[in-house]
Amino acid sequence: MAFASPHPRGTATPCIEADTNSGATDTVITVASTVTATVTASVSATSSSSTTNTGPLTTPTSWLTVMASRIASPIHLLPMNAAGYRFYLGGDTVSYCPTEVEEAGGCPTGNHTVLSLCAMGALVPGGQYLYVTPGGEVGYTQAHSSLMPDGAVQCPFTYSKAPGATIGRLNLRAFGASGLMACPTYGDAWQVFANLKNITAPRGNVSQCLGFDPLAFDTLNITAWQYT
């Protein structure tokens, strides 16, 4: 089976640029947090390591999973999940695999949202690409399509990992934003936005949104055929 590449040039490695078939149904994958108190230790190590002469790593060496860090908040250590072509803290990852692929044993197993700086970690031919809209929504394209909202910027994330650290960090600076924030929805999940003042919050009140530190964990496995 040919693996879809997340890189625009068609390589089989994660994109590292800096700056629906019938007969099947969507699969909801429950995501559980895999980090413990080691997050605190690793973040501390990242801070201390950054003072050495060796510069931080700015290109991921593998696919990534992302988790929010904001101590003493309802979003602390929630995983960042893909659902409905947007990203949320908490909730479930929503993915899809065609019936014919499943019958052939080609559907990947796993329970995480996996991404690079530019694309989703999906096997679907053509890939699914990341973007941020002028209104701050962080999203990804549908399978078999490169269509993005008007004015959207592709490859929105930057990455940094200090020497010796086990956890990296994502950042987002498009449209003058500095970092990410999460806004409460009418469900249990928090929608992820660029940290901008002009967003349209799901519940209409931007003051309810919380900035967070996106912790990036290396992962080797792609866990979805495509995200929906």
Give me the pLDDT at residue 55, please: 92
AA letter at 173 = R
pLDDT of 40 higher than 70: no
pLDDT of 34 higher than 60: no
Alpha-carbon separation of residue 86 from 21, 44, 81, 190 (angstroms) = 21, 30, 8, 11
Give me the pLDDT at residue 139, please: 99
Q: What pLDDT, in 10s, does the model give residues 186-220?
A: 999 999 999 999 999 999 999 999 999 999 999 99
Alpha-carbon separation of residue 170 from 55, 154, 156, 216 (angstroms) = 16, 15, 10, 6
* pTM to 2 decimal places: 0.79
Give me the pLDDT at residue 53, please: 55
pLDDT of 63 higher than 50: yes
Give me the pLDDT at residue 178, please: 87
Give me the pLDDT at residue 54, please: 80
What the block records as the tokens of 219 is 């992962």
Q: What pLDDT, in 10s, does the model give residues 151-199?
A: 999 999 999 999 999 999 999 989 999 899 999 999 999 999 999 999 9
The continuous run of DSSP H or E covering 200 comes out as: none
- Long-range contacts of range 36-45, CB-CB < 8 Å, 24 or more positions apart? 38/166, 39/67, 39/69, 39/77, 39/167, 39/215, 42/165, 42/166, 42/167, 43/69, 43/167, 43/213, 43/215, 45/162, 45/164, 45/165, 45/166
Average pLDDT over residues 122-132: 98
Give me the pLDDT at residue 28, please: 40
Average pLDDT over residues 85-113: 95
Give me the pLDDT at residue 221, please: 92
What the block records as the tokens of 24 is 């099947």
Average pLDDT over residues 53-60: 89
Q: How many CB atoms lie within 10 A of CB 166?
A: 15
Give me the pLDDT at residue 37, please: 41
Give me the pLDDT at residue 102, please: 95
* Percent of the chain's residues with pLDDT above 70: 77
Q: 137 CB contacts (<8 Å, ≥6 apart)?
A: 86, 149, 191, 193, 194, 199
